Chain A
Amino acid sequence: MDFLASIENSGLMTWLRESPSVLAYPTLLAFHTFGMAFLVGSSSALALRCLGVARDLPLGPMNGLFSVVHAGLWVSALSGLLLILIDARTFLTMPAFYIKMAAIVGALVLMWSLRAEVFARAGATTVAVSHKGRVQAATMLVLWLVATTAGRVTAYAPFIGWETAGAVLVTTIVLLAGVWVVSRLMRPAHPVSSRSSVHKAV
């Protein structure tokens, strides 16, 4: 704890935490948000493709998106490390923080397995995703939601965090049910025509 306290009290950490400039702490938080948006957002786009959204999109060239995913990972990891060091004793004794870290590690492992399973080996016109790939994609999305929620509730008391987690779960189920209903309603009346467009794209 003494070691953590001395890091917290170092000049850089004190400046980042206490400077009235919005270029200090608020900008650091904004970088963490950008990192999250590109890491989680881009890898979620890859996962949605695996789960059947935009199913005519060839998988091989999507591999190029991993450069954006990895840039997002670096930005969020480095900004995240500074955010921990600014207030190390608070974060490192907080259950929500460890839940977030475990969810991130799980999501990253799944993301790289998904790359090996689906994107790295796909050709320029491949569109079929294996069952294993779909399971990896769905699990990764769940873990990203857990990580995002846990990260957000680090700003609240633990019992509010758990209540929020329950509310996020219920809201997610309701919204996904709504998306499912809307997608059923918007499905074209003649499935034959949507099949022919698949062949055209391939």
Chain B
Amino acid sequence: MLESVLRYILDWPVVVEFFRSYAWGWPLMETAHFVGLTLLLGIVGFFDLRLLGLAKGLPVAPLRKLLPWGVFGFVLAVSSGLAFVFGVRANISIHPYEVLINDVFLQWKLVFLGLAGLNLFAFYKTGMSKAVDDLGPGDDAPPLAKVIAGASLVSWIGVVYFGRLIPWGQFSAQ
């Protein structure tokens, strides 16, 4: 049941057709993926590092206004990433469901992505998101905010590392 649903929703013939028709389609999505992850890591990483004590002279509330550009990077990376999944048959002639259940690096990437999401949820749920807004120039973040900031850095680095390994994973069962 779950398999047939996934087989249906993960494969988009229109995206496969797009990649087959235009040779620039795949490298365009790769470039968007890289620009996206660069903005995401550069800006979210900057925010995390401030909470951990780098460039402590910065007040946190105004720093938050950079974050929408990190979110923009995330949206770029997710959109291009979904294009790779939906259109993967244009590249390797294997159904994306096969890749999903066989490629351990893709699976690790999704695990780290889930951790990044849970960590973000914890950032709001524990009240740390509100607490760090009061941090002025020179103020130290609460220990829990530092733990969450460190976990954020580790999980995004995990996402990028295992994402880069995906092409070396096993695509189908044999």
Contact = CB atoms under 8 A, between A and B. Distances in A.
A152 interface: yes
A25 B78 CA distance: 25
Interface stretch (A86-94, A103-111, A158-166): A158-166
A61 B38 CA distance: 22
A54 B165 contact: no
Given A22-B168, A53-B69, A62 B58 contact: yes
A64 B52 CA distance: 13
B15 interface: no
A45 interface: yes
Nearest to A151: B34
A14 interface: no
A68 B157 contact: no
27 contacts: A22-B168, A26-B168, A30-B160, A36-B34, A37-B37, A37-B41, A37-B45, A40-B38, A41-B42, A42-B46, A43-B42, A44-B38, A49-B66, A54-B62, A54-B63, A54-B66, A61-B57, A62-B55, A68-B45, A68-B49, A148-B31, A156-B27, A160-B27, A161-B27, A164-B24, A164-B31, A166-B24
B5 interface: no
Contacts of B41: 34, 37-38, 41
Given A26-B164, A45-B66, 5 more contacts: A57-B59, A58-B58, A68-B45, A175-B76, A179-B72
Given A54-B62, A201-B61, A45 B42 contact: yes
Contacts of B64: 54
Interface residues of B, number: 45
